[in-house]
Amino acid sequence: MKKVFLIFCCLFFSSLSLQAQNDPVDSQKRTREFIMSCTYGVLTGTLIGAASLAFSDSPGDNLHRIARGASLGLYAGIALGYYIMNLDENPEVIDPLQYPAGDIPPPLEGSFQVLPKFEQAKLDGIELKFQLMKF
């Protein structure tokens, strides 16, 4: 558990420092969005954990479900907040007409592409491209 927390802290603070160099106001906005995402995750998880008590035979003995729901909600909020922090608000737009026929433009940042893969003029399979993070 300590390793996961340490890795999370390293990733979180490294992304903050990179974004702080670009625009401090934008960094504050993204940090606020991250904290709000974590808060909403905890609140949602807590409510779901409390609602799950209605389906148990002895709710008084299963109060740990509330804490477990809050914990899982926090993890979901961290994942969502980290994703939101790394979104590019002004993605570049590629004009497909600037590429000749047969050339495939590079993938847009944060986009998901499914492309055909050819070998010796025969379809060999598909290629999946997705940029998860930008450093």
In sequence order, the 6+-apart residues with CB closer than 8 A to the CB of 63 are: 53
Query: In this model, does residue 53 exceed pLDDT 60?
Result: yes
Dihedral angle of Cα 43, 49, 52, 53, to the nearest 10 degrees: -110
Q: Which whole number is the average pLDDT over 11-31?
A: 62
129 φ/ψ angles, rounded to the nearest 5 degrees: -130, 130
Considering only CA atoms, give the Rg of the chain: 22
Nearest alpha-carbon partner for 67 in 45, 37, 51, 39: 45
Nearest to 85 by CA among 31, 38, 123: 31
Helices (H), the chain: 2-22, 24-52, 64-85
Taking the complete model, does pTM exceed 0.85, yes or no?
no
The least confident of 14-18, 77-81, 97-101 is 14-18
Sign of the alpha-carbon torsion through 56, 59, 62, 68: positive
Q: Is the pLDDT of residue 9 over 50?
A: yes
How many residues are recorded in the chain? 135
Task: Evaluate if residue 91 carries a pLDDT over 90.
Answer: no
Please state, rounded to an integer, the average pLDDT across all residues of the chain: 75
AA letter at 127: E
Q: How far is CA 19 from CA 22, 35, 85, 128, 133, in A?
A: 5, 16, 9, 28, 13
pLDDT for position 66? 94
